[in-house]
Amino acid sequence: MSKVELVIVLAAGEGTRMKSKSAKVLHEIAGRTIIENLLAAVKPLEAKNLTVVVGSHKDEVIEHLSKIAPKAKTVFQEKRNGTGGAAQLALASHKGDGTVLILAGDTPLLTTQTLQEFIDLHASQKNKASVLTALLPDPTGYGRIIRGDDGAILKIVEEKDAADSEKDIDEINTGVYLFESKVLSAVISKIQSNNSQKELYLTDVISLLNDQKDFAHAILSNDYTETLGINDRTQLAECAAIMRDRINNQHMLAGVSIIDPTTTWIDAGVKIEADVVIYPSSSISGESVIKSGAIIGPRTTLVDCEVGSDASVIESFATKSKIGAGAKVGPYTYLRKGTVLDSDSKAGAFVEIKNSTVGKGSKVAHLSYVGDAQIGQESNIGAATVFVNYDGENKHQTKIGDQVRIGSDTMLVAPVTIGDGAYTAAGSVINEDVPAGAIGIGRARQVNILGWVLKKRKDSKSAAAAKKAGAKE
């Protein structure tokens, strides 16, 4: 338990550098918004209160927070006058004493463990103010940590206000701070906007505290990748790649084979059992669950899907579908919302299925469209069958029993029912029910006109071949 009284998340900024119609903190990494990733790390700290400062795109952000953190309080920063202004508002709206953890809403890679260690050090050192810092290979854009000869932090200088010599410093401010609330409240009203951005910088409280001998402490984190902030789309991609590696490593250590982790993208909410194998260029997102022994990929996208044990999904795209144990999907299969493939069933090449159940052991092997259908067990849907479910106005259901054989190129005009053990003849248009055990034939009877080629295509190569075969006019 962290013993933090209040967590303040600053998320009011304009996010100008994202050049986006939506709020910066609502952009996604691993299937969760930037702020959702941050709050997931904050939650286990069990802080007493959580306040999020909102401003730009406030309605969108508040709406999102009501879903992901319903207990969070929001404070509106009408005039975006800087991180210092945002922190002032959050602090003013809170009565209690104790330790305050301040975070920037745009640092999604922070972990609970790092935050807890930071909190523990702040407490054990009895600090009044602590700043989490990091050594970055490229510190450009961040506030720099200026330390005195004794190593203690003197102040934080923003990139835009930094002298060239200060820009050479590679220790940066991560935007994560701990303050004893009374100390911060007393000093935060003193910050001024006499800087290059004409903003109230929260970072200025460090030197103000030092001036009044309430010394601040800089605590260096040991993994700089956790502290990266997102200001533009290149940083969004950079952080997404770090999160991808983190998630993939966890799965691999838990027994999942990922053949090419650099091209495999798995959302944070996905569950994968041991002995699943994932081939390159695949993405598994949303709330998908993959059971032991399943094979996914290459080049497969699964969104909110359940894949049963020992099933395979190869070179395919599936969304909101259930793929049963031992079922085979792909290559080149498109499974849409509401598809249920029962165990040991098959959806093969160039097959599209939506809102349909394919029963145990049944096969839709090639070139078919299945929409709004219930298919029983061990039935076979011949190549190029179309479930004609739409009459231009409404969608209709098709029912297929057990042990049915639908001939290739059948059009099943819904609503229609095919009984258990029934057949349809290849090339049929079936718009009436076929009873159990019957064959439905819905096509014109074939007529052969003997000698037609010899008469009508006299000098053709076909006529010559026919003659050679003994055909007569």
3 state SS for the chain: CCCCCEEEEEECCCCHHHCCCCCHHHCEECCEEHHHHHHHHHHHHCCCEEEEEEECEHHHHHHHHHHHCCCCEEEECCCCCCHHHHHHHHHHCCCCCCEEEEEECCCCCCCHHHHHHHHHHHHHCCCCEEEEEEECCCCCCCCEEEECCCCCEEEEECHHHCCHHHHCCCEEEEEEEEEEHHHHHHHHCCCCCCCCCCCCCHHHHHHHHHHCCCCEEEEECCCHHHHCCCCCHHHHHHHHHHHHHHHHHHHHHCCCEECCHHHEEECCCCEECCCCEECCCEEEECCCEECCCCEECCCCEEECCEECCCCEECCCEEECCEECCCCEECCCEEECCCCEECCCCEEEECEEEECCEECCCCEEEECCEEECEEECCCCEECCCCEEECECCCCECCEEECCCCEECCCCEEECCEEECCCCEECCCCEECCCECCCCEECCCCCCCCCCCHHHHHCCCCHHHHHHHHCCCCC
**Site string (204-243) toward ligand UD1, x via CB under 6 A:** -------------------------x-x------------
Question: Which of residues 4, 7, 8, 10 is near ligand UD1 by CB under 6 A?
Answer: 10
Catalytic residue check, 251 = no
Q: Does 143 bind ligand UD1 (CB under 6 A)?
A: yes
- Residue 105 interface partner, choices ligand UD1, Ca ion, none, CB cut-off 5-8 Å depending on type: ligand UD1
Using Cβ positions, the residue closest to Ca ion within the complex turns out to be 229
Question: Which of residues 202, 205, 206, 307 is near ligand UD1 by CB under 6 A?
Answer: 202
* CB-nearer residue toward ligand UD1: 34 or 367: 34
Question: Which of residues 173, 301, 389, 428 is near ligand UD1 by CB under 6 A?
Answer: 173
Catalytic residue among 57, 64, 366, 396: 366
Q: Does 229 bind Ca ion (CB under 5 A)?
A: yes
* CB-nearer residue toward ligand UD1: 34 or 284: 34
Q: Does 106 bind Ca ion (CB under 5 A)?
A: yes
Using Cβ positions, the residue closest to ligand UD1 within the complex turns out to be 143
Hey, which residues between 31 and 70 contact ligand UD1 (CB under 6 A)? 53, 55
From 31-39, 106-114, 186-194, 352-360, give the range in contact with Ca ion by CB under 5 A: 106-114
Q: Does 106 bind ligand UD1 (CB under 6 A)?
A: yes
Q: Does 440 bind ligand UD1 (CB under 6 A)?
A: no
From 43-51, 100-108, 184-192, 422-430, give the range in contact with Ca ion by CB under 5 A: 100-108
- Residue 335 interface partner, choices Ca ion, ligand UD1, none, CB cut-off 5-8 Å depending on type: none
From 18-26, 103-111, 368-376, 435-443, give the range in contact with Ca ion by CB under 5 A: 103-111
Point out which residues bind ligand UD1 (CB under 6 A): 10-13, 53, 55, 77, 80-83, 85-86, 104-107, 142-143, 156, 158, 172-175, 201-203, 229, 231
Point out which residues bind Ca ion (CB under 5 A): 106, 229, 231
Q: Which residues are catalytic?
A: 366
